[in-house]
Amino acid sequence: MNESKRSTTTGVDLIAQFYQQQTPFFFTTANYSLLTSGNQASVNLALNDRALFSTIQGVLAEAQAKGSENPIIVGAIPFAVDAPMHLWVPETVNWGKPLPEVSKNTAGDVNRSNNITSSNSNGYAIQQTPLPETYMQGVESALQRLKHSELSKVVLSRALDISLPQQLDMSQLLHKLAQHNRAGYTFAVSLPVDTQLQNSHCKTLVGASPELLINKQGTAIRTNPLAGSAARSTDHHEDQQRAHALLDSTKDQHEHALVIESVNSALKPFCKNLSVPNQPSLIHTETLWHLSTDISGELVNPATTVLELASALHPTPAVCGFPANHARDAIAEIEPFDRGFFTGMVGWMDSQGNGEWVVTIRCAEVEALRLRLFAGAGVVSGSIPQHELMETATKFKTMLNAVGLTDVAEVA
Cα(147)–Cα(272) distance, rounded to whole angstroms? 38
Count CB-CB contacts under 10 A for residue 336: 13
Told to judge if 272 belongs to the known catalytic residues of this protein, a careful annotator would answer no
Told to judge if 150 belongs to the known catalytic residues of this protein, a careful annotator would answer no
Sign of CA dihedral 301, 349, 341, 113: positive
What's 104's DSSP letter? Answer: H
3-state SS assignment for residue 52:
helix
From the candidates 91, 97, 176, 211, give the one annotated as an active-site residue.
Answer: 211
From the candidates 91, 97, 153, 176, give the one annotated as an active-site residue.
Answer: 153
For residue 370, list its beta bridge partners: 163, 367
With 0-12 / 13-18 / 19 or more C-beta atoms within 10 angstroms meaning exposed / middle / buried, residue 321 is buried
Cα(360)–Cα(341) distance, rounded to whole angstroms? 7
Cα(86)–Cα(75) distance, rounded to whole angstroms? 6
3-state SS assignment for residue 43:
strand
Cα(36)–Cα(188) distance, rounded to whole angstroms? 11
Q: Which residues participate in catalysis according to the annotation?
A: 153, 211
